[in-house]
Each structure stands twice: as structure tokens, then as C-alpha cells.
Structure 1
């Protein structure tokens, strides 16, 4: 019985550590590129920081991630058009929550 409880506890703690989160549907306030950061910094109307990263004022879109160009293009287009987006974040890089998936909504 103790092994079962320990297994469940370890499984849940590992899931919680990498669970990530999703913003509510909302507009982007800023899209920035700074030489000091490797990536694009995004400010969303409804910021999330599910993994407790050191900074929660921006989200980071990394150029090394798959579909970076597509996600960056979607975010720029949505920002320009004032369209709401939903952003999934998971993990931390450079103390920022990392963007893993983007969706532009009507």
C-alpha cells in the first residue's frame, strides 16, 4: 500500500512540475525583441506563470522552438489586427514562461 501511495505522489508531482498553463483568450499588449534576450518577448492581456518562473511580466517565444516562424507570424498578425489569442506556456527560460503553442481566435 505504501508503494502505491508513493508511486501516485511521485507521478502527480512530476505532472505538476511540467503541467504548463494556458492564457484566457485576450489581446497582446506588446511584442518585443531585445538583444539581451534570445527570443521574442510577449505581453498578453491575461498573463500566466504556471511553473513559477522568476519573471511574469513577459512570455518568451524562443527561435529554437519548432514552428517559431509560424507562431511569431501569427502573434504579429493578431497583434496588428487586434485579434484575441490564446497562448500555452510550459517551463521557464531566461526566467520567463516559455510559449509552446499559440492560437488566434475570432
Structure 2
């Protein structure tokens, strides 16, 4: 499997779950401030205690961060492969994105969640 195909697959498969994680995080954050409105909009599923649990959940934040990093790095690598024609510059930039943004961000998120 080529790198481009792998990047496309990662972008496609992380997009829906990333949207769901964002939606849960957003709703739970609003549920801390506007409890009754969020409770009504979610048919009572997200109450104040559920909002506190979801919004402060390390697992949800960690999954959200991992999905965000994978999605962003894959999307940036796709853009690099589409726009840059020089193969040396393309390889250099792709490596920089994978190393600097991907690994560094992942390391920061892991250290913050410990």
C-alpha cells in the first residue's frame, strides 16, 4: 500500500470519529454552563454530572487528541504530495510534518495526560 493511499484512509476513517469526539466535548462543555438547554437538546442524556464526566474524561480527551493528530498529519502530507513537485523537497517536508508535528504533538499530549 502506498503512503498516499494510507493517508487517504486515515483521513477518511478519522473524520467521522473526530467529529463525534468534538461534538461530545462541545456539548459537555456547554452542559457545564447551560445545563438545562443541553439536557433538553439531548433528551436528558447529557445532564450536569454526565457533562462533568465527559468533559473531564482523560480517555475522551486522549482519543480526541490522537484522532486530531492522525487526521491533521495525514491531511498535511496529502497536501504536500499534491502541491509540491520537487521530490526532495516533498520528502523533506513530509518527514518534517511526520516528525515535528506528529511525534512532538503526540509526545506532548501523552505527557499532559499522565
- The answer to whether the superposition gives a TM-score over 0.5 is no
Rg bigger for which structure?
2
More helix by percentage:
2
Q: Which TM-score band (shorter chain)? A: under 0.3
More strand by percentage:
1
TM-score after normalising by structure 1: 0.25
TM-score after normalising by structure 2: 0.24
